[in-house]
Amino acid sequence: MTAAEMLERLVGFATVSRDSNLDLIAFVESYLDGHGVKHWRVESDDGKKANLLARIGPEAVGGVVLSGHTDVVPVAGQPWSTDPFTLIDKGDGKLYGRGTCDMKGFIACALAEVPAWTKLELHAPIYLAFSYDEEVGCIGAPRMIERLMADHPLPSAVIVGEPTMMQPVVAHKGATNLRTTVTGRASHSSQVDQGVSAIHVAARLVTKIEDVMHELRAEGRIDEAFNVAHSSLHVGKIAGGTAINIMARECTFEWEIRHLPQDRFEDLIGRVNAFAAELEAEMQRKAPETRIVTEPLNETVPALADDNNAEVLDLCRELLGEQPHGAVAYATEAGQFQRVGLPTVICGPGSIRQAHQPDEYIEIEQLAAGTRFMQALGRRLASR
């Protein structure tokens, strides 16, 4: 099965994050069984989703982990010109479908090479590590990484195959999603002295969140390796109030912090929380029942730092030829692998510019480049 044929099968599974990925996992398990490859499921608590670990080659220290997520973002409301869950070749050098570049293309390249890998005398293993729920906060990977570290010999490198046009990426920002709920006191809008508007208070806090980002830039907390060279704070959703003539009792907004590897999430949210505490004290002097509560919507996805990666970076250059390396603003599971001490880089086929878009595609040449990479990896691990 070629990488394109494998990608056609994978795209056909509508593994949107809100839904189960078990049909795709079962397909991959059956495929691996057909080639005598050992594999292990690592399920979610409710059993509706699963990670999949597999090992080709010896049970030995070293080797390379190829990591990819099986979930994709929704297509609802997007103006697709084709069925997003049917791989389409329009004859323009591109393959269209949800997940083609983000990131079933990488998974397809790896799986298509399994038959050839099993015929090689590998002196170090190739691990496949396929996760669930990356798109909603990198939720599935930590328990898969825990199982990898507990039950298998220590790998020497991890390559996370997010779309990078097959150029190594050595750093990315961390990410945390948050929800803040402001509870005020409702009153008739003609009696503003009686109430506390949750919307007005929330507006002040939202403005502060943006101010913190500007403060970081003014303090010189900059890393030019990133196209957005500072930690970013952004409010994406807000809702509150019941009527134009009622002072709002509640307002809720959802926001994010994307922090540079050298910044700490705790420090950045601390600035926001300090201002929120001032606002809450001001509110409670007028109405003791009022409050401001911020809660995380996901465990902080750790940043990937350009650190302890010389060996895996050299491996990528050996397999790909001399390539520039860089940093990206989006978060991935790479920081979670690095957090447990595994040297990690990001490198995969396709462009992040196509990710999450209607008519998402991967260039056929990028799929071919991913295939060449997998072939070279097998040869490298079979040589001494």
* CATH code for position 149: 3.40.630.10
Catalytic residue among 71, 102, 333, 363: 71
323, pLDDT greater than 80: no
What is the structure's pLDDT at 153? 96
Catalytic residue among 102, 113, 133, 134: 134
Q: In terms of domains, do 12 and 23 share one? A: yes
Average pLDDT over residues 368-380: 97
71 is catalytic: yes
Q: Which domain holds residue 261?
A: 174-296
Q: In terms of domains, do 247 and 370 share one? A: no
The structural domain count of the chain equals 2
Q: How crowded is residue 376: how many other Cβ atoms within 10 Å of its Cβ?
A: 15
384, pLDDT greater than 70: no
Rg (CA), the chain: 23
Q: Which two structure tokens, joined as six digits, stand for 166?
A: 């097959």
Q: In terms of domains, do 16 and 142 share one? A: yes
Angstrom distance (rounded) from CA 359 to CA 368: 20
45, pLDDT greater than 80: yes
Q: 268, 296, 324: which is the final residue of a domain?
A: 296
Q: In terms of domains, do 145 and 189 share one? A: no
| Predicted TM-score of the model (pTM) | 0.90
Q: In terms of domains, do 100 and 223 share one? A: no
Q: What is the chain's mean pLDDT, rounded?
A: 96
Q: 296, 313, 335: which is the final residue of a domain?
A: 296
Q: In terms of domains, do 330 and 264 share one? A: no
89 is catalytic: no
Buried/exposed code over 7-45 (b: 16+ C-beta within 10 A; e: otherwise):
bbbbbbbbbbbeebbbebbeebbebbeeeebebbebbbe
